[in-house]
Structure 1
Amino acid sequence: MHSSEYQNPSQLKEGNVLVVGGGNSGSQIAVEISREKKTYLSTSKRLTLLPLTIRSKSIFWWFDKVGVLKAPFNSFLGKLIQKRGDPIFGLELKYAIRNGSVFIKNRSMDGKENKVIFQDNTFLDVNNIIWATGFIPDYSWLNVSGVLDEKGNPKHNRGITNIEGLYFLGLPWQYRRGSALLQGVGYDAKYIVDQIVRNSY
C-alpha cells in the first residue's frame, strides 16, 4: 500500500514489513510498525536525523531564528537546502535502528512476487510493502489556460499568476523554505494580500 492509505499496523498481513522511502513519513511509519513486526526501511540516501527540540524549543523555532525558514528559493542557502533535501525530524528512528527494531536496506531496485532486490544486490522476502515514496502534485483539474508550465506546475511570481484574480499559497518553495509550513505561510499570505490591496486602488 501507499503511505497515504496507511493508518496503523492492524492493516498489515502477518510477517515482516518493508517500508520503501526514507523521508519523514516512511521513517515514522517504520518506527510505529517496528513495535509489532520485523521492519525494514529502504532508502536511497544517507539518513540525516535532527531532534525535534533543542534546549526546550522547537527546531523550527531555531530554523526561524537563524534564517533557514526565510531563505528564498534562489538564494545560496535556499539552493543548498533544496539540493540536500529535508532531514528526518525526531530521533525515534535513530533509537529504533540502534536497538535493532528497524533494519536499513539500500535503494529498492526490482522485485518479483514477494522478493525485493536492493541496490547492493542483496534481496529480501517480504510479506508487506508500504510505499512511502512521496507525492507528485497534480494541477490538471485547474482548467485555466496559461497558468501551468510545460511540466504542469503553476507559473507564478511569489504566488501571483498572470491571470487576474488567481493566486497560489502554500506551495513548497513558493518563495522561501517556510512557504509550505504553518510557521512560514503567513509571510507569503501577507505579500499576496498587500498586492491585492495595492492593485485594487
Structure 2
Amino acid sequence: MSKSDVLYNVKSVVLTEIDEVTGMEVKDKKPINLVCDSEVELKPLVSKGNEKTLRTDTKILAVAKTPNLLYGYDFKMKNTIFNVEVASLIEGGKIIYDEKDQTKIIGYESPRLRDGATMKPFKADIYVANYEGSSIKNYVRITLNKCMGQAPKITFKKDFFAPEFQITAMENTKANLPIKTVSYVDALPQEQ
C-alpha cells in the first residue's frame, strides 16, 4: 500500500472453493459473493519464540531469543446475510435441491457425525474501499489464499438474523501461495 492509502469499509467478500490436491480454484464452482456488514476481523496466529536468559544475582550476562512467527490468521465475518451456499462451503454441509428443478434450493443439512470432517478449503478475497478525499480511488483486495471454516455461531433474537463465521487462513503450500496477498483493483467483482 502507498503512503496515501485511506481504507474504509469492507465492500465485498468473495469466497472461492479450492481443490484440496492442487490448491488451485475448482474450475466448475462459481465464486460466492458474500453480503457482509462492512466489518471483517483478522487476528494473527503467532507461534511464540523462546527466550533464555543467563544471569547472575545482579546482572544479565546474555539473552538468547528466537523470534515470534506468523503462521496464519483467525478470520471472522460479522453480520452476514444467511446463505446456504456459504454455509455449505464453510461448515461442510449439504445443500438440498428440488428433485424436479435442480437449480431450486429447498433446504440445507449440517454435516453428519458419520461423515467426519467435510469442510472444503477455499480462498477469501476481501475488498476494502481506498479513498482519496471524498471519492473512492480504488479498492484494496486482501486475499487469504487457503481458508478452512467451522460451524457458525448462530443467535436468534428480536433482531435480524446474522450468522458469525469463524475461519482460519493458512499458507497455501500446494499452490505455493503465502497466507495473504494484497493487491489494488479498480472495480469490485460482479455479483454472480
User: More helix by proportion, 1 or 2?
Assistant: 1
The structure with the greater share of residues assigned to strand is: 2
**Shared fold, TM over 0.5:** no
What TM-score does the superposition give when structure 2 sets the normalisation length?
A: 0.20
